[in-house]
Chain A
């Protein structure tokens, strides 16, 4: 079995086996089997869409509890800029940062400050010759995983830099080592995250062997405790080191605006992101230099671990940044620092392909076409696959049977009962009796008639 880490788990007590998540998964990674949703690990990109959509709260994001920080001598909080948009009537970021110290952290290192450094490094990178254009942002881990499973030709276009979270952690760790003399094991660095994909990003990073982040806390869990502490903050400490550029990374468009050039596109929401990537693959966009993509609507403020509506949060961030300087953090030598570079580039993983042998794959495809033609084409999801075509694919791959389709099953049973009826009345009665006792899918489809 695949041992890849994912930031989504299923609470099978709560899962009723409905079709909401299978229909909305952008990589067709979920099936309902034996009445419960199952995630096909290799296909999951940790976008959080299933968590957002599940009406029964059966999909749970994975993150660390706040108490985990107690196991470390020196605790550093890395607040995501999206956190700043969660509070009403706030006009000073330092109130949040001082509040975080009250939660038990020894130091606060803003991810937005590191974002300003990434923005500066990106501007330097964009001025280089010989890079694949347009350059695609590497900030959203769900988008990176999407590209890795669906868009082989675009892997080379991805900005080969670590995320602002990672850069912030590396800088903070180095500083903490020097200032405290503590060993790495005693320094705990915790990202306060809007998004479970960041948990995966820390456990199995892209572009790096190991993350400098120790753990990931959820904004939604930190929020209530932090909000009550913030109410009690008297004197704020001058902790914030972010300007307009860094704070704007909270929402879609912030990263590309920081490039100070007009040839960019920013798209949010997983469906829009897929459309843009498809268009890029077909070279449909001309004259674009940079593409910013966020799996969540609104950008990071739209993550499933936030508490506020993404658009409200964005409006608040806009208000907060109003009297901030343009940028507060700068690269000391105006050159791309070594630690920002990826250790290895994004690699394509062909999990969506039918077979690595093309002749075999073509035979399977023909078979999928044939079976698709037999299915009703309603894409009802009752079989547990998101569409009829997907069921056909599962059948050919060996993970499902044609009678998983409730309509095919009904037809077969009907044929059997007709055959039996022609043989005499008694056998028919017994078949009809059996049909009455069929489980729910059968009753459901009969009701639809």
Chain B
């Protein structure tokens, strides 16, 4: 057995009331193992934003989390429409979220910028009409924010 903990979550789409459950679960696990509290906060926020994105734009997806003693890797996979212009999507305030989502206080165009802010590395693979895969990594102890 390797010295890591693997967690897998199905993030259901269009059900806002359940969005954020996966990141809450990861936070619980990290707290139990006494993880670096700054890293827990950054993982929780980045993953929450990613989860919300999948619910808003892609009709859900999956989240795979790998916890190492010094690092947390998160892979968010969806089969949504893909991101047309990643660079533009990374701009603070840019959003393609529909009005009904905005009225709930989401879709302010801070999702991806926040994910970048709170993680130590972030990589996006996306293809129009196929889906998006996001690779996130947060280091314990070595903060970037």
Contacts and interface: CB of A to CB of B under 8 A. Distances in A.
Interface in B34-92: 34-35, 37-38, 41, 44-45, 48, 67, 69
Interface in B1-19: 1, 3-5
A363 B68 CA distance: 11
B123 interface: no
A282 B32 contact: no
B33 interface: yes
Name the residue among A358, A359, A365 with the largest chain B CB count within 10 angstroms. A358
B24 A362 contact: no
Contacts of A337: none
Given A282-B44, A359-B69, A152 B4 contact: no
A361 B24 contact: no
A353 B37 contact: no
Interface string A335-373: 000000000000000101111101101111110010000
A278 B44 CA distance: 10
Contacts of A356: 34
Contacts of A353: 31-34
A283 interface: yes
B45 A352 contact: no
A366 B69 CA distance: 13
A282 B31 CA distance: 13
Given A153-B41, A281-B44, A365 B31 contact: no
A365 B45 CA distance: 22
A359 to B, nearest CB: 6
Contacts of B41: 153, 281-283
B37 A361 contact: no
A283 B42 CA distance: 10
B29 interface: yes
Contact of A361 (B4, B32, B44, B48): B32
Name the residue among A150, A278, A282, A393 with the largest chain B CB count within 10 angstroms. A282
B44 A358 contact: no
A101 B23 CA distance: 56
B102 to A, nearest CB: 15
A365 B33 contact: yes
Contacts of B27: 278, 281-282
Given A278-B24, A369-B5, A362 B45 contact: no
B34 A350 contact: yes
A191 B5 CA distance: 50
Contact of A358 (B1, B38, B45, B69): B69
Contact of A352 (B32, B37, B38): B32
B5 A354 contact: no
A278 B24 CA distance: 9
A365 B29 contact: yes
Nearest to B41: A153
Nearest to B23: A282
Contacts of B45: 282-283
Interface string A256-298: 0000000000000000000000100111100000000000000
Contacts of A278: 24, 27
A358 B44 CA distance: 19
A281 B35 CA distance: 15
Contacts of B23: 282
A153 B39 CA distance: 11
A362 B31 contact: no
Contacts of B48: 282, 284
Nearest to A348: B37
A53 B4 CA distance: 40
Contacts of A369: 5
Interface in B108-130: none
B45 to A, nearest CB: 6
Interface of A: 150, 152-153, 278, 281-284, 350, 352-356, 358-359, 361-366, 369, 393
Interface of B: 1, 3-5, 23-24, 27, 29, 31-35, 37-38, 41, 44-45, 48, 67, 69
Given A353-B33, A358-B35, A359-B3, 16 more contacts: A153-B38, A281-B44, A282-B23, A282-B44, A283-B45, A284-B48, A350-B34, A353-B31, A353-B32, A354-B32, A354-B34, A355-B34, A362-B33, A363-B3, A366-B1, A393-B32
8 contacts: A152-B37, A153-B41, A282-B23, A358-B35, A358-B69, A361-B32, A365-B5, A366-B5
